[in-house]
Structure formats: C-alpha cells, structure tokens
Amino acid sequence: MKRPKTATNANLRLAADIGGTFTDIAVFDERTGKLTFGKALSTPEHLVEGISAGVEKAGSDYRSAGLFLHGSTIAINTILERTGARTALVITEGFRDVYEIGRINRPDAYNLFFRKHVPLVERALRFEAHERVLADGEIDKPLDEDEIAALGRKLDSLGVEATAILFLNCYANPEHEARARAVLERNHPGMFISASHELSQEYREFERCSTVVANAYIGPKVRRYIGEIDAHIRSAGFHGSFLIVQSTGGLYESEQAQSQCVRMLESGPAAGVIGTQALCRTLKLDNAIAFDMGGTTAKAGVIYKGEALTTGQALIGGYDKALPVQIAMMDIFEVGTGGGSIARIEDGALRVGPQSAGAAPGPACYGLGGAEPTVTDANLVLGRLGADRFLGGEMALDVDAATRALKTRIADPFTMSVTAAADGILRIAVTAMSYAVKGVTTERGLDAGDFALVAYGGAGPLHAVQVAREIGIRKVIIPGAPGVFSAFGMLFSDLRYDYVRTWYTRLDDAGFDDMEAVYTALEDQGRQAIASTSVTPSRIVIKRAADMRYVGQEHAVTVDLPMSVFTRQDRKAIKRHFDEMHLLRYGTSAPDERAEIVSLRSTVTGLMRKPPQETIARGPKTPTKNAFTGRRKVYFAEDGKAGKFIDTPTWRRADLRAGNRITGPALVEEHASTTVLLPEDVMTMDAYGNLVIAVGGGR
C-alpha cells in the first residue's frame, strides 16, 4: 500500500548498513546540517537489534526521522549460502533444461574435475507450460489458464514456497506471463510469484531465466526481512518513508523491494560507490576506485570521468560456476577477504578467507569465544591496531587471545614466529584484495595507476596503502568516518529506476522517431514509478544508453548517449560514441565497420537533497600537540626487506586540521578505523577533512 508523500526536507534522515560484522548508522539533520554516526556489532539472529543499537549510539531515534534508508547483504548472501526458499520454475514447453544447460562456459578446458554452475531449482521442480510467443510478440500457442491452475495445486502439494515464471520471448509480449502470474497469485496468496518480464525486458532466455529464479529463490526471505524491519521501526514511532538501496546505488520503496528483491543484490556496496562519487565531485576528481573492506569481504567499484560505472548483467559466484543476473547494477568486484576472514592451513599452504568469523563469535581478539586467527588478529599482533583504542575505546581487544590463535593454528604448524605468521596473513590478504581492484580496472581496459584509491570500511584504511603499492596506485584518499562510509553514502542516493528493452536494429536503418518512441515509453514508466513513491524529489533527470555491437558480433557493449545526439538526430555521433567505448573496453575498434543496436536503456532519477560537504578549520603544516597520542611498536616489512618493529607515532584524526602533514611510518586513529602510513608515505589533510596520501612519497 502506498504511503502518503513525504517531503524530502524531513528533519532527520537515518541510513543503516548491515554488514557481516558491524551495523553502521548515519544520521543527517537537514535543519542544522549535522551528521552523526553509530556503529554496533551486527546481530545475525535478529538483525533489527543491531540497527537499533547503532541508532542509539548515534544519539538518535526512529520517531524523529522522516526517511529511513537501508542497505543490506541479505539478498546476495542468501544466494551464495544457498539458504533460499523451495522454488519451482514454470517455463515454456521444450525449454525445461535451459536453466541448467546455460551458456556451457568452460574457462578451464583441461580441468578434469571442473564443475559447472548448480541451478537454484532442481530439475524435479521445473515444469513446462503449453504456450508459445514468437520473437515478434505474436502468440503462436495460447496459454491454458486451467493448466496453470492445476500446476499451482501441484506446486502447493510439493511444498513450494516460491515460483518463477519464464516464458520464451516474453520480453516482446508479456501477456502470457502476466496471466499465469495472476492465476497463481489468486489461488495461492501465500506463495511468492515472480514473472521474468517484470525484472528484465531483454532477450537471452538463459540470463532472464536465471534472474527470475534468483528473485523467486530469495523472495520469501527478503520479504520477511524487510517486513520485520518495517514493523520494528514503525512500532518504535517511525512514520516516514522506508527506502531500500538498489544495486545501482539508487533508492526504491521497501514495498517494491519485497517483490523485486534481486534489485538489492549489491545494496550495501553500491552505497559506498555513491558516496565515493559524491566525494569525487567535491574534490573535482574524475577517476577514482571505491575500495571497501569490511569484516567479511572487500569490494571495489569505479568512478570514471565523474560517473559510477554500472553494468547490465553480473555473474553471481564467479565466472566458471556463475549464475547470471540480468539487471542494472553497480559494476562491483568482490573478494572474500575482510577483517574477520579466517586464516587456516589447507593442503600445506596458508589460506585467508573466504570463511569469516563474522560478528559472532568474531575474531579471537574480540573475546567472544572465537578461536580462529583472522586478519584483525594479525593487525593487532603487529601493532597496527591499539588494543585499548578499538571503536574509540568502547571495545577492548585481547592481544593474548589473538597471539594464541595465531601461534596454535598457524605459527607452530609452520615452525615460524607469530610475527611472521601475522605478516604472512596480511600479505596474502592484500594480494587477494588487489584482485578486486584489478577486476574493475585492468579487466575493464582501465589503467589502475591513473586512479586515486578511495578506501573505507572499518578495515579499508588499514590496508589501503599496501593495496595501492601492489598495483601501482600513487594516491590514496581516506574520507571522513570511513568506518561508516557506506551508510554515509546512502544519504547521497536518489530515487532511481532503470529500464531496458531489446530493439534489434542496424544503426544505418534506425529511425529516430521509432527510437524516441521506445525511449519515451521507458521514461514514462520511470516517471510513473517515482510518482507512485511516498517521496517527492526536487527534480527528475533522464539518461539514455544503448547496447551496441559491430554487425556479426555476438556480445554488445553499453554506450552512454548524451541527449544532444537525439536532438540533432546525429547517427554519426552515436557510432563515434560506440567506437570509443569499444576501444576502451577491448583495446580495439573498427570505425569503418557497420554497427547495430541490440537494446535501448533509460535511467530515470528523482534527485533528492544531499548533505553539504563542509570544510574544516585550517592548521599549520605540523599537527598540533593535542593531535599526538603517543607511540607504539608497529611491524613493517615492505619491498621484500626483512621486517622489524618500529617505534611509530599515533595521531588522533579528530584533532587534525586542514594542511596538516604527516610522514610515515605513522598511524592515524579514529572511532571506527585506523589509517596505516607506511615508511615514505606522506599524508596531508585536505580542506574537507580527507586524508590524502602520496604513496611512497609520490614516486
């Protein structure tokens, strides 16, 4: 049910980001411009408790808020952990096995033990329907609604909780899918029903099938999760709008999220990329890598020429065993390495992650019962974390417990020192995290060395400079409050709806009037979607793109198209934009070859009011004495040299001023994070309170 419109200048805006270890809260008061933050351990058994604890630590409450924004990893984790609903698939006759056959990817051709992707729906729960729509949308075989009703009764008897519907060519004519969905919903109101045309209107039946199955598979769990949060915050006095962050970084209503759950797969990480984009605009920085390291994973996204890069399709679970999802989302690469990642010996080698100690029991040093050594334990033993300063001193860390875990599980079996074991864990973690950065730069045809690395998350600043050195990045930026930066990024998100429609046409034959009709229909959908929300944006912005390829190619690239090419009806400009994107992506282009359009894309954004990026007081080049908090022994081993513990100065970030300059080795500490400066690094505090690090002295 649609809630009443809420003005975007509501007094208070709450943003909550639930991670595997911590729940982060950002609170923005639009009257005063004040930002406050809260951080609490996540509560896996009842996640709303972690949200409430964070809101309380931020000194706020639900009753005062007009907007509640939320990002979560529940959707992606449900797929990766295979903890979704018992799901059935209803598909066009003759195509029962398309979901299992897939694209027959075989990246490791000579691996005799290769295993392909495992479908989320077993074959026994895939059922054929006697219907057929042709590629041009013409109905060849009508849908039998009685057959669908009988099938629904069978699904019910089999204990099916969710059903995905995929009919061939439904992107051209969704009538059959819509009718089948209506029959099942009418007869089985407790069953989660998802039809593919509501998620994707593109060709490629396998990808569309995988998308709708994923949506149905996670649907019941995500619906319950969002419903519980909604009930909890409203019982606590919240009367505003509850919005969810999509994988694009845009916002949509919680009611919409409960039916189109797959759109929030990268909900939390996308918010951090949006925050990075806002930071880049403030600093007039064109190119940056958003690097987020939390307790469970490390993620990377890209800001290129001022815009966050997105994709129309993602592979969930890695290339070789992946399940594709055909929706718009932030182009994010993720590895299973975080502060809570467990180090272990496997097949005689040291491994780090992807298993995580999470929030319960957490790393050994948390003193909550964890006995496995983690990346956080290694940082503590090497002096990079202060046992009495974690979370601003709220949470004392147990050095002895961390040392015991490292000694028992890693050092003794390898007959090495605890220090060497801890250093080895960090080196492996840094190498793994560098893959995430390369995944969104080098593998996309971009030179990582041309980008600044914006590092955040509780563990990001601890490792950012090492990751930068690993891949040749010369500048690292640590934003304010990096430990809660993804929650902060949500405050810069806008209402956003992405639409795509397959439209096969040779560019030379494409009529601009026909093209305009398709774009207009997509954009009208977006305007209606925004109008149906409970939020009134300040204005609406439209962006257009097209999936294009050279004639004879199989795969297309997405090309952003400025509105001017449609105003001028400039066909040559469209071709030029395509050639440039193809060159960037693949290192080659063919300006003399003919091109064709595969799909048309439109993004409709309802802009919302953003927090101001305020400057801080200026200070001298040398930080004042009150920012200095002492010295401690920290282990450094760089450039292949033998490592040693160095007497390292520590600084309180809250007392640093614009213009302050610190040369490494040094530690800059704050409530939810610590920034490590390696020897020869030079850090300068900029006018907005960001730590700008010249890596290795800028060489």
> What are the pLDDT digits (tens) for 669-688?
998 889 999 999 999 999 99
Residues 115 and 167 in one domain: yes
Distances in Å between the alpha carbon of 616 and those of 479, 526, 654, 686, 687?
13, 39, 11, 9, 6
Which of 581, 602, 599, 534 is CA-nearest to residue 3?
Answer: 534
- What pLDDT is recorded for position 11? 72
pLDDT at 21 over 50: yes
> What are the pLDDT digits (tens) for 269-290?
899 999 999 999 999 999 999 9
Of the pLDDT bands very low, low, confident and very high (cuts 50, 70, 90), residue 612 is: confident
Q: Is residue 197 part of a domain?
A: yes
> Hunting for tokens 């050092």 — which residue is that?
411
- What pLDDT is recorded for position 699? 43
Q: How far is residue 371's CA from residue 361's CA, in Å, rounded to a whole number? A: 9
Neighbour-count burial of 567, counting CB atoms closer than 10 A to its CB (0-12 exposed, 13-18 middle, 19+ buried): exposed
- What backbone phi and psi angles, to 5 degrees, belong to 443? -75, -10
Residues 93 and 126 in one domain: yes
> What are the pLDDT digits (tens) for 350-379?
999 888 887 678 899 998 888 899 999 999
- What pLDDT is recorded for position 650? 96
SS3 478: strand
Q: With contact defined as beta carbons under 8 Å apart, do 16 and 70 qualify?
A: yes
Which of 344, 342, 358 is CA-nearest to residue 295?
Answer: 358
Mean pLDDT of the chain: 90
Q: What's the CATH code of the domain at 241? A: 3.30.420.40
- What pLDDT is recorded for position 72? 85
Q: How far is residue 375's CA from residue 338's CA, in Å, rounded to a whole number? A: 7
Q: How far is residue 91's CA from residue 210's CA, in Å, rounded to a whole number? A: 12
Residues 147 and 75 in one domain: no
Q: Output DSSP code: residue 592.
A: T
- What pLDDT is recorded for position 8? 42
Q: With contact defined as beta carbons under 8 Å apart, do 12 and 66 qualify?
A: yes
Cis omega before residue 324 (within 30°)? Answer: no
Q: What is the mean pLDDT of residues 513-534?
A: 93
Residues 578 and 549 in one domain: yes
pLDDT at 313 over 90: no
Amino acid at 118: V
- What pLDDT is recorded for position 3? 53
- What pLDDT is recorded for position 9? 40
- What pLDDT is recorded for position 641? 56
Q: Where is mean pLDDT largest: 63-72, 350-359, 566-575? A: 566-575
Which of 633, 553, 545, 536 is CA-nearest to residue 589?
Answer: 553
Q: How far is residue 621's CA from residue 623's CA, in Å, rounded to a whole number? A: 6
Strands 6-7 and 535-536: parallel
- What pLDDT is recorded for position 321? 64
Q: With contact defined as beta carbons under 8 Å apart, do 23 and 56 qualify?
A: no
- What pLDDT is recorded for position 639? 52
Which of 97, 45, 39 is CA-nearest to residue 456?
Answer: 39
Q: How far is residue 278's CA from residue 440's CA, in Å, rounded to a whole number? A: 19
- What pLDDT is recorded for position 34? 85
Q: What is the mean pLDDT of residues 105-116?
A: 70
Question: According to the 3-state scheme, what is the secondary structure of 114-171?
Answer: CCCCCCCCCHHHEEEECCEECCCCCEEECCCHHHHHHHHHHHHHCCCCEEEEECCCCC
Q: Is residue 278 part of a domain?
A: no
Lowest average pLDDT, out of 3-12, 337-346, 420-429, 511-520, goes to: 3-12
Q: What is the mean pLDDT of residues 126-135?
A: 95
Between 638 and 480, the more confident residue is 480
Q: Is residue 61 part of a domain?
A: yes
User: Cα 414–422–638 angle (5° rounding)?
Assistant: 110
Structure tokens of 459?
């563990």
Structure tokens of 466?
């090492």
pLDDT at 510 over 90: yes
Q: What's the CATH code of the domain at 511? A: 3.30.1490
Q: What is the mean pLDDT of residues 45-51?
A: 84
Q: How far is residue 662's CA from residue 667's CA, in Å, rounded to a whole number? A: 10
> What are the pLDDT digits (tens) for 555-564?
899 999 999 9
Domain count for the chain: 4
Q: Is residue 298 part of a domain?
A: no
- What pLDDT is recorded for position 523? 96
Structure tokens of 97?
């096995």
Q: What's the CATH code of the domain at 211? A: 3.40.50
Q: What is the mean pLDDT of residues 587-609?
A: 93
Q: How far is residue 166's CA from residue 90's CA, in Å, rounded to a whole number? A: 6
Q: With contact defined as beta carbons under 8 Å apart, do 196 and 169 qualify?
A: no
pLDDT at 45 over 50: yes
pLDDT at 495 over 50: yes
Residues 88 and 180 in one domain: yes
- What pLDDT is recorded for position 196? 95
Residues 57 and 176 in one domain: no
Distances in Å between the alpha carbon of 598 and those of 154, 198, 329, 497, 554?
39, 19, 19, 20, 10
Q: With contact defined as beta carbons under 8 Å apart, do 268 and 19 qualify?
A: yes
Q: How far is residue 261's CA from residue 87's CA, in Å, rounded to a whole number? A: 15
Q: With contact defined as beta carbons under 8 Å apart, do 112 and 304 qualify?
A: no
SS3 83: coil
Q: Is residue 442 part of a domain?
A: no
Residues 214 and 248 in one domain: no
Residues 242 and 169 in one domain: no
Which of 102, 101, 152, 159 is CA-nearest to residue 127?
Answer: 152
Q: Of the candidates 428, 448, 467, which is a domain's last residue?
A: 428
Q: Of the candidates 221, 244, 263, which is a domain's last residue?
A: 221
Q: How far is residue 299's CA from residue 287's CA, in Å, rounded to a whole number? A: 17
- What pLDDT is recorded for position 243? 93
Q: Is residue 471 part of a domain?
A: no
pLDDT at 698 over 60: no
Q: Is residue 456 part of a domain?
A: no
Domain region containing 506: 495-607
pLDDT at 46 over 90: no
Of the pLDDT bands very low, low, confident and very high (cuts 50, 70, 90), residue 498 is: very high
SS3 310: strand
Strands 12-18 and 22-29: antiparallel
- What pLDDT is recorded for position 317? 67
> Hunting for tokens 């080895």 — which residue is that?
424
Q: Is residue 565 part of a domain?
A: yes
Q: With contact defined as beta carbons under 8 Å apart, do 464 and 455 qualify?
A: yes
pLDDT at 43 over 90: no
- What pLDDT is recorded for position 360? 72
Sign for the CA dihedral angle at 307, 289, 287, 577 comes to: negative
Question: According to the 3-state scheme, what is the secondary structure of 401-468?
Answer: HHHHHHHHHHHCCCCCCHHHHHHHHHHHHHHHHHHHHHHHCHHHCCCHHHCEEEEECCCHHHHHHHHH
Residues 68 and 187 in one domain: no
Residues 88 and 207 in one domain: yes
Residues 348 and 411 in one domain: yes
Q: With contact defined as beta carbons under 8 Å apart, do 268 and 71 qualify?
A: yes
Residues 205 and 244 in one domain: no
> What are the pLDDT digits (tens) for 159-209?
999 999 999 999 999 999 999 999 999 999 999 999 999 998 888 899 999
